[in-house]
Amino acid sequence: MLQIDDLTVRYRTPGGVLEALSSISISAEKGRTLALVGESGSGKSTVALAAMGLLPQEAEIASGKIVFDGRDIGAMSFEERRQLRGSRLGLVFQDPFSVLNPSLPIGEQVGEGLVHHRGFSKAQAFERAVELLNEVGIVNPQAVAKAYPHELSGGMRQRALIAGALAPEPDLLILDEPTTALDVTIEAQILDLLEQLRTSRGLTMLFISHNLGVVRRIADEVAVLYAGQIVEHGSTTEVLHHPVHPYSKGLLAAIPRIGLKQHRLAAIPGRLPDLRKPPSGCRFITRCPFATPSSDAPQTLRQVGERKVRCANAEPLRDTPWPRPEQVAEPIDLSARNQKPIVSVTDLTKTFRLGGGWRFDGWRPRKVETLLTPVNAISLDIRQGEVLGLVGESGSGKTTLGRTILRLIDPDAGTIRIGSETISDKPQRELEAMRRTAQIVFQNPDSSLNPRKTIGELLARPIERFGLVPKAEIPARVRALLDLVRLPAHYADRYAHQMSGGEKQRVGIARALATEPKFIVCDEPVSALDVSVQAAIVNLLADLRDRLGVAYLFISHDISVVAHLADRIAVMNRGELVEIGDADTVMNNPQHPYTIKLLSAVPRVDAAMQART
């Protein structure tokens, strides 16, 4: 159905020409699903845009061709390509929050392809849109069709997008990270929907994702993309269960797995090569633990058994696993952890008033209030050196709880004790001591690090503020902090934008550690990071806990990460704590229906392949 042959795409950037894709060849057969897997910067979204003929102006197809149903897309006129898009080729984007036009009703956006490709009238298209919305499992499709995007939840928007892409009945659907922005339960529903459509309509799918668990559920074939090259390509079972290329091995080893609690995750060290001057040899060489002098030579994608691998040493490496990480520090004495709690929260409640104000009820003004209680009578303890994992879907109140415990948000009711101090009833200016004991690591290191200050200044500030060491010793202390998070000392002179996402998050952690806290709220600290980087940060957090005895409230929507790191797990749903207990107990023997639902929705890489029809 779709065949991409030897495709090379280059982008003109201010820093020089960047080769985003180098000689990519893939093909998607009718009725099958091909997954493209890769981390950020691998070029996977460029493939989607190139196939749709939607590359931005600064991109250039240097060589290769894209053939759809026997016709070369590159040789078509602009108008022919436009006719093809939408009608035979559908594209579903990653972020349902920004790809729907905010000022057009959903029904119009779902049906407009029909108006332009199938000659429907607007009314007919709207009617068909309602049917399609119903088909993708939206309740009350009539009302939803008339609604605007901001009135819908993320899952509903993603369904509407899929409905819109499906409307003109395309032959090929390209899905670019279609479930990344969604909660696991919604993700599971969308994947089921896609699978059902594939079988009922014979749809061909090109599924682009970084999430191997999702890929395992949906794809027949997998192509692993690294730095613009395909490094391994084969059937889903083969690639995901017995990866051969070192990068595939590393990627799979880096994923925390439920029910397989290792002490440390395997991480892939280093970072992507600069694609403005790609290395002539193996592009993974600097990060590869198996690299040999011969890896310096150009590598070709060649047949190894049933699959294709871009590695000269593929055969000898076939059964060699990715090296298991060593334990860096001795874990702290576990018995010491059973001391009294460092954080103790009782009946904590926070209510927000939304859209409060005066409304007109006819001519009579009336006070209207919408209340939202993201934290509803929650009680929990966190002991010294303990990691309490907090899971729940978006909107469940995880972040609000974390911030309320630190008094970044003032609670409405309940008590919070940190250390021996009750802090829930103190005014902000008396929280000085608590601010030293309790710190926070934010989700997005891009927006939580001041872009105009060097890393050294950022780390020195809290030390100075609390007068932890004499002024002369501050630089030494900053170096020690950088060392603690395994960043070289010269990073003190860098600015945030000069570092990668993982490095920035290390700085975020160092900043939290600067005051030598006893308790840190980690609010989705790895959600913005790639899998291989995520593993390194999770390991770092585990090491720090073992070495310093810090307790964490580890908030994440990714249950596998929480299961890996946490001693105990708390599950939140709509502001309430539905289950809390020992990590193994909660994972293996969940009691609350919501926990069971949440756990069953998590896509797992190592589960047996689903029976495919």
* CB-based contacts of 160, cutoff 8 Å, min separation 6: 96, 100, 106, 109, 110, 133, 136, 138, 144, 149, 152
Q: Which of positions 470-499 make contact with other proteins (CB under 8 A)?
A: none
Taking CB under 8 A as the binding criterion, the range among 68-76, 101-109, 224-232, 498-506 that sits at the site for other proteins is 101-109
Binding-site member from 29, 58, 104, 471 for other proteins (CB under 8 A): 104
Q: Compute the distance between CA of residue 295 and CA of residue 278 in angstroms, rounded to an integer.
A: 14
- Name the residue with tokens 């289950």: 579
Binding pattern for the stretch 185-214 against other proteins, x by CB under 8 A and - elsewhere: ------------------------------
Q: Nearest approach, Cβ of 603 to other proteins (angstroms)?
A: 25
Q: Are strands 59-68 and 221-226 parallel, antiparallel or unpaired?
A: unpaired
- The SS3 assignment for 229 reads strand
Strand partners, 235: 221
Helix residue spans in 167-268 (DSSP H)? 184-201, 212-218, 236-241, 246-253
Q: How far is CA 604 from CA 188, 191, 240, in A?
A: 11, 13, 11
Taking CB under 8 A as the binding criterion, the range among 15-23, 80-88, 252-260, 443-451 that sits at the site for other proteins is 80-88
Q: Compute the distance between CA of residue 63 and CA of residue 310 in angstroms, rounded to an integer.
A: 20
Identify the H or E element spanning 93: none
State the number of CA atoms in the 13 A half-sphere of 235 facing the CB.
5
Nearer to other proteins, 145 or 561 (CB): 145
Please give the DSSP secondary-structure letter assigned to residue 557: S
> How many CB atoms sit inside 10 A of residue 319's CB?
8
Binding-site member from 326, 360, 451, 611 for other proteins (CB under 8 A): 360
Binding-site member from 6, 29, 151, 315 for other proteins (CB under 8 A): 151
Q: Compute the distance between CA of residue 521 and CA of residue 404 in angstroms, rounded to an integer.
A: 11
Taking CB under 8 A as the binding criterion, the range among 144-152, 239-247, 438-446, 569-577 that sits at the site for other proteins is 144-152
Binding-site member from 18, 50, 66, 91 for other proteins (CB under 8 A): 91
Kindly state whether residue 87 participates in binding other proteins, applying the rule CB under 8 A: yes
Q: How far is CA 610 from the centre of its chain?
A: 24
Taking CB under 8 A as the binding criterion, the range among 25-33, 151-159, 275-283, 413-421 that sits at the site for other proteins is 151-159
Binding-site member from 14, 15, 77, 103 for other proteins (CB under 8 A): 103
Nearer to other proteins, 330 or 363 (CB): 363
Kindly state whether residue 143 participates in binding other proteins, applying the rule CB under 8 A: yes
Q: Nearest approach, Cβ of 364 to other proteins (angstroms)?
A: 10
Taking CB under 8 A as the binding criterion, the range among 86-94, 258-266, 298-306, 577-585 that sits at the site for other proteins is 86-94
Q: How far is CA 397 from CA 98, 181, 290, in A?
A: 23, 17, 44
Q: Nearest approach, Cβ of 156 to other proteins (angstroms)?
A: 6
Q: Compute the distance between CA of residue 404 and CA of residue 336 in angstroms, rounded to an integer.
A: 27
- The SS3 assignment for 366 reads strand
Sheet holding 221-226, edge to edge: 89-92, 172-176, 204-209, 33-37, 221-226, 229-235, 307-309, 302-304
Q: Nearest approach, Cβ of 18 to other proteins (angstroms)?
A: 19
Q: Nearest approach, Cβ of 94 to other proteins (angstroms)?
A: 9
In terms of Cβ atoms closer than 10 Å to its own Cβ (0-12, 13-18, 19+), residue 432 is exposed
Q: Contact 143/151 with Cβ under 8 angstroms?
A: no
Q: Compute the distance between CA of residue 546 and CA of residue 539 in angstroms, rounded to an integer.
A: 11
Return the closest-CA partner of residue 475 out of 454, 496, 450, 445: 454
Return the closest-CA partner of residue 495 out of 485, 507, 483: 507
Nearer to other proteins, 53 or 389 (CB): 53
Kindly state whether residue 93 participates in binding other proteins, applying the rule CB under 8 A: yes
Kindly state whether residue 101 participates in binding other proteins, applying the rule CB under 8 A: yes
Kindly state whether residue 153 participates in binding other proteins, applying the rule CB under 8 A: yes
Binding pattern for the stretch 39-78 against other proteins, x by CB under 8 A and - elsewhere: -------------x-x------------------------
Kindly state whether residue 308 participates in binding other proteins, applying the rule CB under 8 A: no
Look at the chain and count its residues: 613
Please give the DSSP secondary-structure letter assigned to residue 150: G
Query: What residue ranges in 516-573 does DSSP mark as E strands?
Result: 519-523, 551-555, 568-573
Q: How far is CA 41 from the centre of its chain?
A: 14
- The angle subtended at Cα 199 by Cα 193 and Cα 202, nearest 5°, is 115
Kindly state whether residue 116 participates in binding other proteins, applying the rule CB under 8 A: yes
Q: Nearest approach, Cβ of 90 to other proteins (angstroms)?
A: 8
Structural tokens at position 474:
């501050």
Kindly state whether residue 372 participates in binding other proteins, applying the rule CB under 8 A: no
Kindly state whether residue 163 participates in binding other proteins, applying the rule CB under 8 A: no
Kindly state whether residue 352 participates in binding other proteins, applying the rule CB under 8 A: no
Nearer to other proteins, 146 or 547 (CB): 146
Q: Nearest approach, Cβ of 151 to other proteins (angstroms)?
A: 5
Q: Which of positions 406-465 make contact with other proteins (CB under 8 A)?
A: none
Nearer to other proteins, 153 or 351 (CB): 153
Taking CB under 8 A as the binding criterion, the range among 146-154, 201-209, 344-352, 529-537 that sits at the site for other proteins is 146-154
Q: Nearest approach, Cβ of 425 to other proteins (angstroms)?
A: 36
Nearer to other proteins, 150 or 277 (CB): 150
Q: Nearest approach, Cβ of 48 to other proteins (angstroms)?
A: 9
Kindly state whether residue 112 participates in binding other proteins, applying the rule CB under 8 A: yes
Nearer to other proteins, 111 or 462 (CB): 111
Binding-site member from 63, 98, 262, 300 for other proteins (CB under 8 A): 98
Identify the H or E element spanning 60: strand 59-68
Q: Nearest approach, Cβ of 446 to other proteins (angstroms)?
A: 19
Q: How many residues touch other proteins (CB under 8 A)? A: 41
Sites of contact with other proteins (CB under 8 A): 52, 54, 82-87, 90-91, 93, 95, 98-104, 112-113, 116-117, 140, 143-144, 146-148, 150-153, 156, 161, 164-165, 358-360, 363
